[in-house]
Amino acid sequence: MPTYAKNKFAYHDYDVLDTLEAGLVLTGPETKAVRTETVRLKSSYISLRGNEAWLVNAHIPRYKYAGTVLDYDPERPRKVLLNKKEIATLQGKSHEKGLTIVPLSVYSKGRHIKLQIGLARGKKLHDKKRAKKERDIDRDIMRDLKGRM
């Protein structure tokens, strides 16, 4: 189960409350481009329209060995495959104040490309600073313990 892309900014900018696994509808050359690990999820999000979920602003560049693909848009919306029950749950929770749906990683499971999505709440600036301070303290403690052993 190799991971092709991770959205590191999602964990920095949001508190991830819940995660789901979803399928992703891609064309053939897009699948090959994903497997070359060229996907960027930095500013992408999941949009719910009606009874469908869409991955918006994910950048999947053109596969370089695909030949000439006319009118290829690397940031086109891509359909996310979820059950009706999962979509209804996400719609209900996304209407709460401050909650959004963000993609966390793209990976393969068997021959299928999967997308891990998370229901997240945005962090405030002081939360980000506190998290960074805690990481630095933990890193210093681990360095001291490593030096003593």
Kindly report the CATH number assigned to the domain that includes residue 97.
2.40.280.10
Total of domains in the chain: 1
pTM: 0.78
Residue 109 lies in a domain: yes
Residue 143 lies in a domain: no
Write out the residue range of the structural domain in which residue 100 sits. Answer: 3-122
Residue 145 lies in a domain: no
**22 contact partners, CB below 8 Å, separation of at least 6:** 53, 80, 81, 82, 86, 114, 115, 116, 117
One digit per residue, pLDDT tens: the chain, 149 residues?
788 989 888 888 888 888 999 999 988 888 888 898 888 988 898 999 888 999 999 898 888 887 776 788 888 899 999 999 999 888 888 887 778 899 999 999 988 999 999 998 887 777 778 888 888 899 988 988 887 77
Residue 138 lies in a domain: no
